[in-house]
Chain A
C-alpha cells in the first residue's frame, strides 16, 4: 500500500533521513521507532508531503506521489499536539476535510456522527476543543483523519503528551479500531513498549538510517545491529578482545565468528540462569518488579550483571551466586556476528 524508496532529507548539510526504504502492506500497522532526533518524524512528514524530500520516491497504492503536495496525497496525519482548531467546534473540526471536498451537508453530518462514534465521542459535536481532555482531543484528531478515509493513516507520537495510564488505554483502543477498519497505519514513537504493543512490524531508526525492519519478536530476539540490540530491551554488555575466534566473557572462553579485534557481547537479563559452574558473584541488590525480580549481581571479576529471576529463585542480598548465560549476542563494528548458543557441556569444557 505504501512504499518508500531511498527517501532522503538533508537540513543544512545535516542528514535527517538517509535512503530510507520500507514498505507497508494494506491493513498493516508499522511503527517507526527510534531515539529523538533519529529522523523518524521527518520520514513521516515526507510521507505526508509536509516536508519535501531531497531524493528517493514515495508510492501509495501503486501511484507515485513523490511530487504531490500534502493536500493531494491520500494520507491523513494525527499530530503530537493534536492540532485541533480551537475556533471551531468538534463537529467543524472533524468535518473540515469533507467540507474541503465539497460534499453535501447531510452526507457530511452522517459521516461526522459515524467518525465520532468510532472514537467513542458521540454527542460531542457541539463541544469546543478547549473543553476536551487530552485524551478526548486526541480522539477528535483521530476522527478528523478517519472521516476522510485516508489510504494511509499517519500518527506522529500521538499519545506521548498523555499520562501513562491513559496512553495504555488509547493504545489498546487504537489497535482494536485499526484491526477492525483495516487501517494502513504508520505510527511514530520513541517508546519501545508502545511500538512492541501496537506494531505488526517495527522499523528501527537511528541517526537518519533504518537499522532493522521486523516483527517485535524478531527485533527483540535477533537484533541485527548493536544499535538495535542496545535500544530494544535491557542488555548486559561487555566489549572484549577476540583472538583467533576466541573471546573471554566474564572469565569464560566463548567461540565467536569474528575477525581479530574487539567484539561486543550482549546478554539479556532473562537469559541468565543459576548454575554452580557459572560466573561467581554476590547479590548486590534485589528489586521486586512483581511478576519477576531484578537482581544486580557483582561478579568476582568486578563486573555487574543484571538478572531477571523468577520469584521462586529469589536470592537474598549479599548471598553468593553463580550464573551462566543461556544465550549471547555478539557484534563487531556494530554488525552482528555468530556466537554459538552456550550450553552446559560447552561451559564446563571452557571453565578452568
Chain B
C-alpha cells in the first residue's frame, strides 16, 4: 500500500506542471474556436470558426502573415549563411580570442534585449533604416545568433577530424571535403539550429516593434494590436495560426537531433 503513495504524489506534481505549461495554450486553443464564452460558463456556450473567417477575410491580416514569413525566412537564411561558416571556424580553427568571442554570444543574450534594440534603433534612424524590411531583417538576425552559432559549433566539433582527413588524404580538395563529408555529417544539427532560429525570429516582438513599426507589421505585432482591442478570439486565432506550424517544425527537429545534441550546443 505504501508503494502507491509516491506515484500518487508524483502524479499530482505532474498534473500541476502539465496544467501550468499546457493550461495557457489550451485556453488559447479554446478561445480560437469559441464564438461566445462569457462568465460564469466553464466552456464556451457557442463554438465555431466564425473568427477564423473574420481573420482570414481581412486584408490587414494576410499582409502581416506574408511579411512575417518573408522576414523570418530571409533573416534566418542570412543568419545561417553568416553563422554556419563562423561556427565551423570556431570548431576547427585556432585563432586568438576564440573562447572570448564564443562566450560573447551568450553575454549579448544576457543583456536586456530591449535596451540593445533602442540603441540600434537610434543608429538605424540616422541611416534611414527604421521602418524598412532590411532594417528589421538585420535586427531580427540577432535573435538567431545564439542557436546558429552554438549548436552548429558543437556539431562541427563533434565530427571526428579523421573523417575529414580521410577525404583530404584521398585527394579531395578542402571545399570538396566540406561539401561531401563535413556538411552531410553536420546536417541534422544545422537543420535543427535553422528551425529553432526560425521559430525564435517568428515570435520576436521587441525589435520588430522598435525598428519596424509602424510601416512593417509582423504577425506578433498584429496580435499585440488585436489583443489591445480586446477581441480575444481574433488574437487567439492568430496565435494558433503561428503556433501550429512552429510546433510542427520543432517536433520535426526531434527527428533530426537528440536532446543531447541540443544540450551540447549550449556547452553541456
A85-B168 contact given A71-B173, A79-B162, A100-B176, CB 8 Å threshold: no
The interface residues of chain A lying within 8 Å CB-to-CB of B19 are: none
Closest to B174 in A: A71
The interface size bin for chain B is: 10 to 19
How distant is the Cα of A317 from the Cα of B169 in the complex, in angstroms? 57
> When A and B form their complex, what is the total count of cross-chain residue pairs whose Cβ atoms lie within 8 Å?
59
The interface residues of chain A lying within 8 Å CB-to-CB of B169 are: 48-50, 70-71, 75-77
B170–A148 contact, CB under 8 A? yes
How distant is the Cα of A115 from the Cα of B129 in the complex, in angstroms? 61
The interface residues of chain A lying within 8 Å CB-to-CB of B185 are: 85, 87
Q: How many residues of A contact B (CB 8 A)?
A: 24
Q: For B165, give its contact among A79, A96, A145 (CB under 8 Å).
A: A79
B162–A83 contact, CB under 8 A? yes
B44 within 8 A of A: no
The interface residues of chain A lying within 8 Å CB-to-CB of B162 are: 79-81, 83
The interface residues of chain B lying within 8 Å CB-to-CB of A49 are: 169
How distant is the Cα of A144 from the Cα of B163 in the complex, in angstroms? 13
How distant is the Cα of A81 from the Cα of B159 in the complex, in angstroms? 12
B171–A100 contact, CB under 8 A? yes
How distant is the Cα of A300 from the Cα of B107 in the complex, in angstroms? 72
The interface residues of chain B lying within 8 Å CB-to-CB of A76 are: 169-170
B101 within 8 A of A: no
How distant is the Cα of A145 from the Cα of B165 in the complex, in angstroms? 13
Q: For B172, give its contact among A87, A100, A141 (CB under 8 Å).
A: A100
Other 6 A-B pairs with CB < 8 A, given A71-B170, A72-B171, A96-B172? A50-B168, A70-B168, A76-B169, A83-B163, A85-B163, A97-B170
9 shortest interchain CB distances as A-B pairs: A97-B170, A83-B162, A83-B166, A87-B184, A79-B162, A100-B172, A100-B171, A70-B169, A71-B171
14 contacts between A and B (CB under 8 A): A49-B169, A50-B169, A70-B168, A71-B168, A71-B170, A71-B173, A75-B169, A77-B169, A79-B162, A83-B162, A85-B163, A85-B167, A100-B170, A100-B171
